[in-house]
Amino acid sequence: MLVAASVAWLVFGVWYPTPFHELTGGRTLFLILMAVDVVCGPVLTLVLFDPAKSRFKWRLDLALIVFTQLTALAYGLNQVAAARPVFVAFEGDRFRLVQALDIDESRLQEAPSGVDSPGFRGPRVLGVQLSRSTDPDYLSSLQLSLQGLHPAFRPARWRPYEQQASAVQLALQPLALLRQKNPTHLAELEAALAEAGLKDEDVGYLPLVREEITDWVALIRRSDSQPFAYLHLDGW
């Protein structure tokens, strides 16, 4: 139980804080990890059980079972870590959730100074430099995006979020529009505003996407361009 509680704290408290475990399937990964680890011990015990075995052989079997469980746990944690969200990246008219597995680690050195590499402390906001139609690499960048390698996945495009605060302000959509699009889900919005102590005029929003998932939004404070809540609402 202590191991399960520690892993749960690591997964949900650090790597996949609410609501990112829902956005990325972190809860499902955790449940699979725990199920495999919990089932592994009894199944191996059943397979290896033999009342005729000596105490020494039983100790060897027990050591094998513990080793197998720890190995399975380590492998599962590695997979959960690989899928962890690391950035909430501003991409012009949206925020994109970036997972560790979206990034080619061999290209991390291409990130400009002032941008931290993906860590294990939970997702952080990030700016992204988009190509303009007049840039020499515009067509190649567009082709990469069509192939699924979005600008937010390319370290060379990363920028400190603070440098793009003014662009975020210009892109923000009014909450009145979000209310119109989601008339039956206003309770979530009201709860987020109340918790932050903000009014409609203090807040804007942008869609939040992760590959095929496009029905989330990031609520942004107009005072400092910082996200303060992520809601399962249609922002398009």
What would the pLDDT profile of 43-61 be if each residue is shown by its tens digit?
A: 777 777 677 777 788 788 7
The predicted structure's pLDDT at residue 203: 98
Other C-beta atoms lying within 10 Å of the C-beta of residue 70 = 13
Residue predicted with more confidence, 117 or 220? 220
* Residue 50 structure tokens: 């033999």
Of the listed ranges 6-20, 38-52, 68-82, the least confidently predicted one is 38-52
pTM for the full predicted model: 0.86
- Domain boundaries in the chain? 2-82, 85-171, 172-236
Tell me the average pLDDT across 68-76.
Answer: 86
What are the start-end ranges of the H helices in the chain?
2-8, 20-24, 26-48, 55-82, 138-146, 165-171, 175-181, 186-196
**What is the C-alpha to C-alpha distance for residues 12 and 27, in angstroms, rounded to an integer?**
8
Q: What percent of the chain has pLDDT over 70?
A: 99
